[in-house]
Structures are given as C-alpha cells and as structure tokens.
Amino acid sequence: MVGAVRRHLEMIVLILSGLLLAGGAVCWWSGAPGVAEALWVAGTVLGLVFALAATVQAARHRRPTVDIIAVLALAGALAVDEPLAGAIITLMLATGQVLEARADARARRELSLLTERAPRTARRLTESGVVEVPVDEVGVGEHLLVRPGEVVPVDGRLTASATFDESALTGEPDPVERPAGDDVRSGVVNGGQPVEIVTTTTAAASTYAALVRLVEEAQAASAPFVRSADRWAVIFVPVTLVLAGAAWWAAGDPVRAVAVLVVATPCPLLLAAPIALVSGLSRAARLGVVIKGGGALEQLARATVMVVDKTGTLTRGHPAVASVVTEGGAEDEALRLAASLDQMSAHVLAGPIVEAALARGLTLERPEGVEEVHGQGVAGTVGGSRVRVGRPTWIVGDGPPEWVTRVRRRAELDGSMTVLVEIDGTPAAVLTLQDPIRPDAPRMMRALRDAGIDRVVLATGDRADVAHAVGRIVGVDEVLAECTPADKLAALSREAGRGSTVMVGDGINDAPALAAADVGVALAARGATASSEAADVVLTVDRVDALAQAKSVARRSRRIALQAVAVGMGLSLVAMVAAALGYLSPTVGAALQEVIDVLAIAIALRAVLPGRASGPELTAEEHEVLRRLREEHDGLGPLVERIATVADAMSTQAPDLAEARALADALETELLPHERADEERLVPIVARARGTREAVAALSRTHAEIEHQVTRLRRLLESAPAPADAETVIEARRLLYGLHAVLRLHNAQEDEDAFGLIPVPHA
C-alpha cells in the first residue's frame, strides 16, 4: 500500500489540490468564507509540504532547484493571509510535477534477457558418465559436454572442432567453425554436434558473466536526467530573492515580497517544457520510434557523436542469397532442389535459401531420406535426384572444380559465404550469401548529419575488410573492427570527449554500450532483446532512417520547449517587476501566473504538430507504381548475376558466344523494358518527392548508360566472325563485366533513392 502511494504521489497531490481549491471556491460562492479559507489554507499547506520535500531531496543530491521559490511563496501566502494564492500555486505545482513525471518516466533497464539466457547448470563428464551440476560448482580444468543448441556455460578449450553461433557476443549472424584446441567463450551456442570442452575459467570469471557485469556497471554510471527548471535555478532563484527583498525593503510591506514570489513561481518551466517534450515523444512514436522519457529526448536532441554497430543496424542482420552460380545454366532448378532439401534443415543458412527460392516463385517439393551432418550440410532425395547442400569442403573436399574455386574466390573478396549444391554426385551450383547493407542506411547517415550529428564511428565485431567496405558505402568517419563489448565501451569513452554520444545497436553484445552512452538506440523490429531493455530509444519499425527523423523531432521539440520557457519566464519577470512596484496583489498575481502558464503551454503544444515536410507526400497511386517497379527490379536480380557468370565462363581457348547471345536476348527483352519504364514512371515520382529534377539526374544517366552498353554488346556479337576469335571474346567479356558493375551500382541507387520512399508499416 505504501509503495503504491509513493508511486502515485504526484497524482494524489494533484487531485487533492484541485478538490481543495474547487471546494473552497464553491464554499465562497455559497456564503461560507470561513470554510473556503480553511480549505485554501489546507491546499497551501499541502503544497508547502510537497515543495519542501522536493527542495530537501534536491539539497541532498546537491542539485540547484527552483522549488525553493515555491516554498517561500507558499509560506509567504500563509504569513500574509493570502490562502487563495497559495492554493492556486499548489495546483500549478502539482500539475507540473505530474507532467514532468510522465515526461521523464524511463522504462526500467531490466537484465531479464541476459539473466534468463545464462546457463544455470553444466554437464560434467565423469568416469561414471554425464552428471548435471550447478554452473557455479564448475572449476578450472573440468571436462564438460555441450549438446546441440545449448549455451556454453563456462569459457573453455575445444577437444574437437565444432560450429558455434556467436551472435550473442559478437553480433555477427554467421556460424563460426572452431578447430580443436581453440578457445570458446561462454554465452555462445553450440550449432553442431555434441562437443566436449575443458574449462579454463570459473563461471564467475567467464565471458558471459563479464558481459552482464558490464551492463550493470554501465547502467550505474548513467547520470540521471536533470530537470530543465533546475538548470535555470542558478540564475533565476537569486534574481527572484533579490527582487522580492528589494520590494519589501523599499515599500516596507511583506505582501509585495510575497506577490513577487507568487508571480515568480516557475510554472512555465515546470509545465511548458515537459509538455513540449511529451509532445515530441508522441510525434516520435508515430514514426515508430519509442523514446523512453523526456530526458532521453533532450539527450538525443543535443547529441553530436554516434557510435553504430554494423549487423542488424547498417545491414539487414541476417544472410540473404546474393547469387546462384552454375557451370551450365539451370540456376533456378539448382536453387529449387537446394531449397526443397533445406526446408527440413534448422541451419542458419537454410532459411535464406528457402526464402530466395520462394521469392523467385519456385515450387518446392518435400524431400525424402533427409540426413543432416551438424555444421557441414544436409543430404536427401528430391524428386528422384540425390541432393547435398552444404560446405564446399564437405561435398568436394580439397579438389573442387575450377569454376567452383573461381566463384568462391570472388565471394571471399566480397565478404560473402558460399554453399555448394550437389545433384546426383555432380557439383551443380554455388550459392553466395551475404548480409546486405540496408538501402536506407546511407540516407540515414546524411539525414543524421543534417540533424546535428557531426561524427559517426562504426564499431563491429566483424572482420576489418567487411567492416571497412560497409563503412565506405554508408559514409562513416571511422571504422573499428573485431570489437568486443568492452572495446565498444572504450570507443564510447573516447568519443565522449567530442560531445554527447549516441550508441545504435540491436544485439545482446551491444547492451553494455547502449547503457553507457548518453543515448542508447536499439532496433527491436524483429523482436525484443537485451539491447532494447538497455536502450533509451527503441525503433519498432525495420527502418533505420526513422532514427534521423526522430532526431529531427527531438531537436524541434527541445527548441519549442526553450521558446515556451523563454516567453513564459520573460512575462513572469515583467509581472514580478509589476508586483514589486505594488501593482499586483498575491491573489491577482497567482491568477495572472495562470494566464502566463496557459500561454506557455499553448506555445509548447506546437510540438504536437508535424514539422515542415521535406517534400510532398506521394499519392497511393504513386506508391503502387513504386511497389510494382520494385517487384520487377527484384525479379531481375538473377539476370544481373547471370551477366558475371557468362563472362566468367568465356574462354579464349575455346571461343563460344552462344551463351553471350542468349544473354543479350534476355537483356533486350527483360532488362531494357524495365529500365525504360523506370525512366518514364519512376524518375518523375522520385523527382517530385525530392523536390527537384536534379536529384534524379544520376538515375537517368545510368538508365542511358545501361541501354548504351547493351546496344554495344549486341553490335559486337552481330559483327563477330564465325567461329569467334579471341579478340571478340576478350572484348565481350570486358563489356559484360562493365555492364555488371554499372547495374549493381544502379540497383543500389534505386534501392536507396527510389524504393526507400515506399512506406514500411510499423511493427
């Protein structure tokens, strides 16, 4: 009961003060002034106790506060027998406290996900068999068994090679294969067959326990939000006391001093600023961005430095099939058979392969005799064909065909993973998978810089080459690769010297940095994690550019809050001077202060309205055009990748242009009509949305260049001698590689500049 009263104290005081003030007014109008005065006195005493408690608490934390003015005003109202003025002040104070409590209510940063995920027991290997023991009883040098899908309970050393999902610690979604003798950290998940480890630490000293402690320590170091009013107190309180003292001394009348204090009660600070901030929270929520309180919104508005994770933030966060490469065509059939088999696999790469096949409209079959080798691949029969899908080394060993080696080499340069598909004992296709960059990530970076972010640091647990490639594309200032959670904390500490910091991430490994940053931003569109518990800002839509919009909303809300405070306190200062000169009594001053409060609130409520739009809204018809063109755009992906495949297969030793001619036919009948439709229908829509035709000049130029290159290829093939000579093959290969590069760049441009305009529904 006592706890409930404490949680709702502000609301209880607000209701009581309203009842006492209204009850006194009713009694006054009913001809019972004595009862009315008693009720108003009670209201004044209630406010005095309330304000005094707030002042004592601020003094205990050595924090300046304007509540001291309210204490003096309320005490003065009682001393000079102006209880109505005191009751009005109490109502104003209580209203401000309720609004402030709502605006600054921060979600508790629970560690529930971390603690629930932490293993409670371990499987100890003994001479008599496997014994399950509490994880705290595990010592150094013991042998533990970790079954498939289980979390490694204690740091240890592998006795045999194994595959692990390390995303909880590194944030990287790809499974990692560890050789025998390698160290494995607690917190990772066994993604293969049962494995034995020899412990190298105790549970308390393990990696996962350290991660939990990092979150706790970072949260403990987070400074509490200081009310806007408190930051003005250092100047405003002395000015008020001097003016009130001067009025009393000059006129010899304490009533004037009380009138000054009543008018000086800083309700524009206590009311207007929280209302503007709450309005900003509401606007951000409509964008799919949950900001946990006015303090977080103010910090976001002031932030100038951002540290961002890669996986799930700048990239999609899960692998996707980038290309299907075969030696002799039939890419769709190879993908169909592989996806049909992978329907029965729980491997992390099986899902993207199935998704890719379904996206191409392929019909999958139910496989038979499925056998999965953990960490290697899966085999079975699909439609009478014996199919294996998995690691190239598992299927072809150390002697893969030349074309497979060529594809794997290119994939390695791109930072992609490869999966080999074998059909009836013959390598049929190589699937390349990568974690694609979000189309809206570069646009988010530009918008954040426009919204006040001066520096962006990419901190990721991924390899340096992949991290730098992503950093270059999205446009960051510095790249930190192969980072542990502690490294990210260290990066935040370094960057804190440059300004207020924002940390953006979406994994458990980001939780310590999210808690330590001035503002932690988590992406939770794909489900809540420890990162969203530790964050101040949570994106519930799968669009990172919403963060830039939220930053703009935060800046605008803070600017409006300051405007409301400046106008309200400016008028209060004028009224204070009038009261000091004897033109305002305490009761009239309290009523005038209410009028000033209403004006300040009206200014603050402007934050509810949307800001100036960056461009015109697209119509439903235009959105539908964009969706149809994007479907065509995505459907042409296999044709674009086929260009590189055909170029790879061309050889001067055995010149053959048959595949090139078939490709040219497909480019003319499928690709060019789409590019012309883009120029005729997509470009005008994007130009109107961006506000200028100049914004789409690059799109138009690449449309023309693509058609020019396809025409050159056709002319070359038509003029080629029969049989083809080596010179023609070399020139055709050069044209194909160039066209492939132009198309990949152009598709990235369209994803970012055009198809990013398609609205994404909120989660």
Tell which residue, 339, 395, 335, has the closest CA to residue 367: 339
The owner of tokens 């961005």 is: 289
* Spatial distance between the Cα atoms of 523 and 316, rounded to a whole number of angstroms: 11
Query: Exposure pattern of 294-303 as b/e (b: 16+ CB <10 Å)?
Result: bbbbbbbbbb
**Helix or strand (DSSP H, E) at 345:** none
The backbone torsions φ and ψ at residue 522, rounded to the nearest 5 degrees and listed phi first, read -115, 145
Which run of H or of E encompasses 194? none
Rounded Cα–Cα distance for residues 548 and 453 (Å): 9
Q: How far apart are CA 207 and CA 166, in angstroms?
A: 12
647 CB contacts (<8 Å, ≥6 apart)? 732, 733, 736, 737, 740
- Is residue 54 within 8 Å of residue 76, measured between CB atoms? no
With 0-12 CB in 10 A as exposed, 13-18 as middle and 19+ as buried, what is 181?
Answer: exposed
Yes or no: say if 385 and 337 are a contact pair by the CB < 8 Å rule. Answer: yes
Identify any residues that bridge with 381 across adjacent strands, giving them in sequence order: 368, 386
Half-sphere exposure of 579 (CA within 13 A, CB side): 32
State the amino acid at position 136 in one-letter form: D
Alpha-carbon distance of 733 to 740, in angstroms, equals 11
End-to-end CA distance of the chain: 37
Structural contact between residues 538 and 290, judged by C-beta atoms closer than 8 angstroms: yes
Residues in the chain: 763
Q: Which residues pair with 433 in a beta bridge?
A: 321, 417
| Active-site position among 67, 155, 165, 309 | 309
**Residue 139 region, left (φ>0) first, then alpha (ψ -120 to 50), else beta?**
beta
H or E segment at 53?
helix 33-60
Is 309 known to be catalytic?
A: yes
Rounded to the nearest 10 degrees, what angle do helices 254-264 and 545-580 cross at? Answer: 170
CA distance 536 to 517: 9
Q: Which residues contact 517 (CB under 8 A, 6 or more apart)?
A: 307, 492, 501, 502, 503
Strands, sheet with 305-308, edge to edge from the N-terminal-most edge strand: 289-291, 537-539, 519-523, 501-505, 305-308, 455-459, 478-480
Instruction: Give the list of residues 6+ apart from residue 435 with CB closer than 8 angstroms, or none.
Output: 173, 174, 311, 315, 316, 317, 318, 319, 320
Structural Rg of the chain based on CA atoms: 34
Positions annotated as catalytic residues are 309
